[in-house]
Amino acid sequence: GQNIDQPTEMTATEGAIVQINCTYQTSGFNGLFWYQQHAGEAPTFLSYNVLDGLEEKGRFSSFLSRSKGYSYLLLKELQMKDSASYLCAVRDSNYQLIWGAGTKLIIKP
Amino acid sequence: IAGITQAPTSQILAAGRRMTLRCTQDMRHNAMYWYRQDLGLGLRLIHYSNTAGTTGKGEVPDGYSVSRANTDDFPLTLASAVPSQTSVYFCASSAQGATGELFFGEGSRLTVL
């Protein structure tokens, strides 16, 4: 079966750096997405990786290793507003998105 | 309207009743989707539509139906609601292109008693 694994919850300190990992086993691979979802709100797109390597976008970076079935989202200079759930999703060979359950990130002052 | 609009935002429904969740987008996206989100689970695809006039079944289609009469609207109908359909429902759309990122509506919280 297809599976996306990510930690359920993480805690970090304001101003610090946090890395959220995502491992996947899917039928084929056509890209990996990270979305941010604040409590009670809709998910919003953060990043997309289809080739191996690091994609940087401001304070957020996303890394992909297709051979390892692994990605991470790196958040730098954490702010209180970064408290949210972070969803990892993989697009499979049928171009359907398979979603992880999300990682709830708690930022403490 | 800007983006995707869902209605209602919240609804309490008696079991056995029929319910339609509405979804409208103004971005002229070809593809639209309905997901449900339950605590501890990832988003699960209910139905999708790649273009107006066509629909397809997702991972959890039973008890739900959709239609896509035009590009903008993609309603989701629960013919006879059951308590296990209590969830938050998200409508989303995407344009054709390299990333195909999804744009989500604000969600509809449905409680079936």
Contacts of A3 in chain B (CB under 8 A): none
Q: What is the pLDDT of residue A37?
A: 97
Q: Please check the confidence at residue B1 and state whether its pLDDT lies above 70.
A: no
User: In this predicted structure, what is the pLDDT of residue B95?
Assistant: 87
Q: Quick one: average pLDDT of B31-50?
A: 94
pLDDT at B62 over 60: yes
Q: What per-residue string of b and e applies to B31-56 under the rule 16 or more CB within 10 Å gives b?
A: bbbbbbbeeeebbbbbbbbbeeeebe
Task: Look at the block and give the residue holding tokens 């739900």.
Answer: B64
| Residue of B42, B44, B104 with shortest CB distance to A102 | B42
Q: What pLDDT score was predicted for residue B40?
A: 86
Q: Please report residues of B whose CB lies closer than 8 A to that of A44.
A: 104
pLDDT reading at B99 higher than 60: yes
Q: Does A70 touch chain B (CB under 8 A)?
A: no
pLDDT for residue A67: 96
Q: What is the pLDDT of residues A60-89, one digit of tens each?
A: 999 999 999 999 999 999 999 999 999 999
Give the chain A residue nearest B4 (alpha carbons).
Answer: A42
Cross-chain Cβ contact B103/A101 below 8 Å: no
Q: Which residues of B touch A43 (CB under 8 A)?
A: 43, 90, 102, 104
Q: What is the CA B38 to chain-centroid distance, rounded?
A: 14
Cβ separation B104–A43 shorter than 8 A: yes
Q: pLDDT at position B98, please?
A: 58
A82 to A21, A60, A103, B12: CA distances (angstroms): 16, 10, 12, 31
Q: Which residues of chain A have a pLDDT value below 70?
A: none
Q: Is the pLDDT of residue B2 over 80?
A: no
